[in-house]
Amino acid sequence: MPALRLIFADQLSLSLATLSGTNKQADTIMLCELMEEATYVPHHPKKIAFLYAAMRHFATDLLQAGYNVRYVKLEDPANTHSFSKEITRATNDLNCTEIITTEPGEWRLLQMIKSWQATLALPLEIRDDDRFLCSTADFAKWAANKKQLRMEFFYQQMRKKYNILLEPGGKPAGGTWNYDKDNRKPPKTGLSYPKRISHKKSEITKEVLQLVCAKFPHHFGTLEPFHYAVTPAQAHQELDHFIAFCLPHFGDYQDAMVAGEPFLYHSLISTYLNAGLLLPHEICTKAENAYRSGAAPLNAVEGFIRQILGWREFVRGIYWLHMPDYANLNFFTATTPLPAFYWGATTNMFCVAETVAHTRAHAYSHHIQRLMITGNFALLAGLDVKEVQAWYLAVYSDAYEWVEMPNTLGMALYGDGGIMASKPYAASGSYIHRMSNYCQKCAYNPKELIGETACPFNALYWDFMARNQSKLRGNQRMPYVFSTWDKFGPAKQQAIHTQAMLVLNRMQEGTL
């Protein structure tokens, strides 16, 4: 029975379940570059270039390992640019009698795959993606009968399951599960940030860069300079560089933001991990070894491992547990159109301009920029949740719906009404002022609430709380916010509302 084994762009691992049991004489491995997938949101050119270069290198590795490979290039004249049509074409050309694949990272793709069984009348096998450390079935089991799902409890269970950062007897290393209290310091002056690796471009990568430049000239984002790893070996170099030079400071400055410094001590590995060039367990093991050998402190290593073993697996669990209904949630009925400054138009808000500039240049911004700058602004201004999600999905090179949606809709916008987070991550300018040096460079003043030069985040913050108070007053974690609001009294409350309307008008006019 010759099988067609389909591999998606984010499944570039030789250990992928799809490859298991391949009959190298009879079966064919298929990968496709499709316009349909590159443009359903306008993906950043660096993201497209990374994926095509990594896919083409992966196909070379497969050929070297003795597999038959059918690789449909974007510029192939016969390419139909649709998954379903490419599958039909391939099964006809190759007389395949079976289709094998691994569960994809998006609900929409899973529905499409399932439809092939009927349209092609062929047996179809969808395998579990065992590159993740918690299967969707295990997550559903853990979640069953719980009133609220909280990452911290899930994470502790994952530490025990994989015996990561545990002392003999099962206690957490150092006696505590979570070292956040030692982390999240504001940036101090005089810190230096490690230089990042730049990879030599292969002929494959050069060809892909030319292709992407020609085919996607209008997508937001700059293609060159292109600094990404595109093979597992290069991705491992990035990981080793992070562990040696950045991990020791990762915890301390995890939430810091510094003008002109897009990377600080972050790992920059999400793009490689989400595409399969790195695997989560090996990353956690390397980080743990750094702690055991004394190369990095526990607060940094635990904080880093929590992101991979905890948050990453948790958001995936949430996505598959709640889809497809999750995609239509909009707790605050946020419908204001996304302003043009998200796509690079001028804004006087330095923090926003800086985050968008990093995004445009690198298809990357770090977590706190995503959460507390562009995400926080979108939350406070009531921006349309679907437009905001489409933006995040398009502009970041690590973005796939399973991870983007719970982070954007759930964590940043609280659009799921508390499934992901116990309260909205809403903050005024004073948080940004404390955690960055952005405000020193801004036309606005984070200490002013009302007036021409008042930081827009301030009035928007209070107005957001006021207009959503019927939904938020009952939240156990927010009593202080509403007691302060009540103390303001009617005159100040009205002045804040007027200021917030002014800010929103300016946002729409393009003068904010």
Ligand X SMILES: Cc1cc2nc3c(=O)[nH]c(=O)nc-3n(C[C@H](O)[C@H](O)[C@H](O)COP(=O)(O)OP(=O)(O)OC[C@H]3O[C@@H](n4cnc5c(N)ncnc54)[C@H](O)[C@@H]3O)c2cc1C
Interface contacts to ligand X, rule CB under 6 A: 266-270, 273-274, 307-308, 311-312, 315, 366-367, 370-371, 375, 392, 396, 398-399, 403-404, 407-408, 411-412
Q: Which residue has the tokens 């207009």?
A: 467
First and final C-alpha spacing in the chain = 63
- Considering the complex, state which of residue 381 and residue 411 has its C-beta at the smaller distance from ligand X: 411
Stretch that binds ligand SF4, among 221-229, 414-422, 432-440, 473-481 (CB under 6 A): 432-440
CB nearer to ligand SF4: pick between 333 and 511: 511
Q: How far apart are CB 356 and ligand SF4 at their closest, in Å?
A: 12
Which of ligand X, ligand SF4, none does residue 307 bind to, with CB < 5 to 8 Å depending on kind?
Answer: ligand X
In the complex, least distance from residue 249 CB atom to ligand SF4, rounded to whole angstroms: 24
Nearer to ligand SF4, 16 or 455 (CB): 455
Question: Minimum distance from CB of 500 to ligand SF4 (Å)?
Answer: 14
What is the Cα–Cα distance from 294 to 165, expressed in whole angstroms? 13
**Partners of 257 in beta bridges:** 436
* Partner from ligand X, ligand SF4, none binding residue 392, C-beta < 5-8 Å depending on class: ligand X
Residue 367 binds which entry of ligand X, ligand SF4, none, CB below 5-8 Å type-dependent: ligand X
Q: Smallest gap, in angstroms, from Cβ of residue 479 to ligand X? A: 25
Tokens of 151: 């990452």
**Beta bridge pairs of residue 69:** 29
What is the C-alpha radius of gyration for the chain, rounded to an integer number of angstroms? 24
Smallest distance from ligand X to CB 67, Å: 28
Token output for 315: 């958001």
The bridge status of strand 28-32 relative to strand 69-72 is parallel
Are 247 and 284 spatial neighbours (Cβ–Cβ below 8 Å)? no
What six digits make up the tokens of 103? 């569960």
CB closer to ligand SF4 out of 439 and 481: 439
- Identify which of residues 243 and 460 has a Cβ nearer to ligand SF4 in the complex: 460
Nearest of 425, 443, 418 to residue 379 by alpha carbon: 425
What does 101 bind: ligand X, ligand SF4, none (CB cut-off 5 to 8 Å by kind)? none
274 is in the binding site of which of ligand SF4, ligand X, none (Cβ under 5 to 8 A by kind)?
ligand X
> Judging by beta carbons within 10 Å of its beta carbon (0-12, 13-18, 19+), is residue 262 exposed, middle or buried?
buried
CA dist., res. 256 & res. 188, Å (int): 9
334 binds, among ligand X, ligand SF4, none (CB under 5 to 8 A by kind): none
SS3 state of residue 34: coil
In the complex with ligand X, which residue's Cβ is closer, 215 or 367?
367
Which residue is it, tokens 């530490």? 159
Query: Distance between alpha carbon 475 and the CA centroid of its chain, in Å?
Result: 27
The reply on whether position 438 binds ligand SF4 by CB under 6 A is yes
3-state secondary structure of 78: coil
Closest CA relative to residue 117, chosen from 88, 74, 140, 145: 88
Collapsed DSSP state (helix, strand, coil) of residue 151? helix
Largest CA distance in the chain: 79
Q: Which range in 85-93, 132-140, 311-319, 428-436 contacts ligand SF4 by CB under 6 A?
A: 428-436
Pick what 403 binds: ligand X, ligand SF4, none; C-beta below 5 to 8 Å, kind-dependent: ligand X
Q: Hey, what are 212's tokens? A: 């992407």
Among 105, 187, 375, 456, binds ligand SF4 (CB under 6 A): 456
Nearer to ligand X, 411 or 442 (CB): 411
- Name the minimum Å distance from CB 499 to ligand SF4: 13
Per CB under 6 A, the segment of 101-109, 132-140, 243-251, 431-439 that binds ligand SF4 is 431-439
For tokens 């500039």, what's the residue? Answer: 357
Neighbouring C-beta atoms of residue 183, cutoff 10 Å: 18
Look up residue 61 and give its two tokens: 């590795």
Q: Which option in ligand SF4, ligand X, none does residue 349 bind, with CB closer than 5 to 8 A by kind? A: ligand SF4
Judged by phi (left if over 0) then psi (alpha if -120 to 50, else beta), residue 174 lies in left
Angle at 401 between CA 400 and CA 402, to 5 degrees: 95
29: which strand partners? 5, 69
CB-nearer residue toward ligand SF4: 216 or 350:
350
Q: Which is nearer to ligand SF4, 415 or 446 (CB)?
A: 446
In angstroms, give the least distance from the CB of 135 to ligand X: 17
> By Cβ distance, which residue is nearest to ligand X?
307
CB of 413 to ligand X, least distance (A): 8
Query: Quick check: 433 binds ligand SF4 (CB under 6 A)?
Result: yes
Say whether residue 45 binds ligand SF4 (CB under 6 A).
Answer: no
Q: Shortest Cβ distance from residue 319 to ligand X (Å)?
A: 10
In the beta sheet, which residues pair with residue 110?
Answer: none
Strand-by-strand arrangement of the 98-102 sheet: 69-72, 28-32, 3-6, 98-102, 124-127
Q: Select from 58, 177, 250, 457 the one that contacts ligand SF4 (CB under 6 A).
A: 457
Q: Please report the sign of the dihedral spanned by the C-alpha atoms of residue 286, residue 288, residue 291, residue 293.
A: negative
| Contact positions with ligand SF4 (CB under 6 A) in 307-366 | 349-351
Contacting residues toward ligand SF4, per CB under 6 A: 349-351, 429, 432-433, 438-439, 442, 444, 446, 455-457
